[in-house]
Amino acid sequence: MKAYSIEQYQPKFKSVWNAFVSNSKNATFLFHRDFMEYHQDRFEDFSLMVYKKEKLVALLPANRVGDEVYSHQGLTYGGLVLPKNIRFENVLQSFEMLLKFLHEQNITSLHIKEIPSIYHHLPSEEIPYLNFILNAELIRRDTLSVIDNHNQLNFSNSRLEGIKRAQKNELRIENNDDFETFWNAILIPNLTKKHNANPVHSLEDILYLKQRFPKNIKQFNVYHEGQIVAGATIFETKNVAHCQYISGNEDKNTLGSLDGLHDYLINTVYVKKRYFDFGTSNENNGKNINEGLQFWKEGFGARTITQDFYRIDPKNYKALKTVLK
């Protein structure tokens, strides 16, 4: 195990980090440093790089809060980023050494928000198994509503009726990347009214990210009689089109704006993408599901996968020594 070493990320490693992410088996553009660092003023970065001799074999995008480390709280998912050709034994040893390093740094907990399997380019579930060996604590489990385009289900009658209303009202859908109008006229007013909250990404944030990742971030807006009435912000990865934001004005049901928009996204724009991910409908740290939102998503044929959140005690790293016999 002396062959392994851990290096804390520094800006001088940016190109090496990004190249590794681009060629990994389970990463997306969210792990690119330009994405991670758009909100660097809000987090104390504690990203780690695992080397075997001189070769980089794993990354942990992470931030630190006191004596705890998180698989970056500014990201939708996280965990160990791995290369395509890595074998189980090397993942095991890499994770053991990473936990040992954290223990030696007096870190009391490592929190991992799993990368959902639909985002993997190759099978990549070594860490969930190792969490079992480590007696990791499952502290949260969210549900994601996902359409598998290789096994599509029919839309429900209520969604079909909404699509007909959209057609009758002659709604116009544009991929015009007009984030500003959607944010200011639809998204922010809705979130303020319903939840007294703001979008996770400010308008400045999303414009910055769009500039850095023009092929991955798209904005689709819906117009009625020249006025914006709804929209969706999509994050595109290799296998998945993910709805980062979905919102419509108070006439969305009467107009059928969101139904018409998602019919267009699912059956035209992303029909060749393997998965269409509506994201979570969870509330109360995963304990509850918004019934109406879940019903709406399932009306398009979406069904449930899960995303687990774990707390790991780094001092248990020695348990991994007994796995291979």
Q: What is the CATH number of the domain that holds 112?
A: 3.40.630.30
Cβ neighbours of residue 171 closer than 8 Å, sequence gap 6 or more: 222, 223, 224, 229, 255, 256, 257, 260
By mean pLDDT, which of 26-30, 99-103, 195-199, 282-286 is the weakest? 195-199
In this structure, the answer to whether residues 55 and 157 fall within a common structural domain is: no
Assess contact for 236 and 269: CB atoms under 8 A: no
pLDDT tops 90 at residue 189: yes
Q: Domain for residue 106, yes or no?
A: yes
Task: Please indicate, yes or no, whether residues 124 and 155 belong to a single structural domain of this protein.
Answer: no
- The verdict on 67 and 122 lying in the same domain is yes
Question: What is the reported pLDDT for 144?
Answer: 98
pLDDT at 123 over 70: yes
How many domains does the chain divide into? 2
Mean pLDDT score, 117-131: 97
Residue 258 or residue 41, greater confidence: 258
Helix (H, G, I), strand (E, B) or coil at 45: strand
pLDDT at 1 over 70: no
132 with 159, same domain? no
Same domain, 92 and 162: no
Beta bridge partners of 217: 235
Average predicted confidence (pLDDT) for the chain: 97
- 158-174 pLDDT per residue, tens: 999 999 999 999 999 99
Q: Is the dihedral of CA 116, 118, 121, 125 positive or negative?
A: positive
Tell whether 86 and 114 lie within a shared domain.
Answer: yes
The pLDDT of 144-155, averaged and rounded, is 97
pLDDT confidence band for 39 (50 / 70 / 90): confident
281 part of a folded domain: no
At residue 194, the pLDDT reads 84
- Give the tens place of pLDDT for each residue, 52-109: 999 999 999 999 999 999 999 999 999 999 999 999 999 999 999 999 999 999 999 9
Looking at the structure, do residues 199 and 122 belong to the same domain, yes or no? no
The number of beta carbons lying within 10 Å of the beta carbon of residue 143 is: 17
For residue 2, pLDDT beyond 90: no
Identify whether 303 is part of a domain: no
pLDDT digits (tens, 9 = 90+) for 195-205: 888 999 999 99
Q: What is the pLDDT of residue 260?
A: 98
* d(C-alpha 151, C-alpha 261), whole Å: 21
Q: Of all helices (H) and strands (E), which one includes residue 52?
A: strand 48-52
| Same domain, residue pair 115 and 234 | no
Task: Name residues whose C-beta falls within 8 Å of residue 321's C-beta, 6 or more positions apart in sequence.
Answer: 96
* Gyration radius (Cα) of the chain, Å: 21
Instruction: Verify that 167 and 237 share a domain, yes or no.
Output: yes
Cβ–Cβ under 8 Å, residues 48 and 81: no
The pLDDT tens digits for 232-281 are: 999 999 999 999 999 999 999 999 999 999 999 999 999 999 999 999 99
Q: Are residues 114 and 209 in the same domain?
A: no
Containing domain of residue 87, as a range? 4-141+308-322
Is the model's pLDDT at 41 over the cut of 90? no
CA–CA separation, 260 vs 263, rounded Å?
A: 5
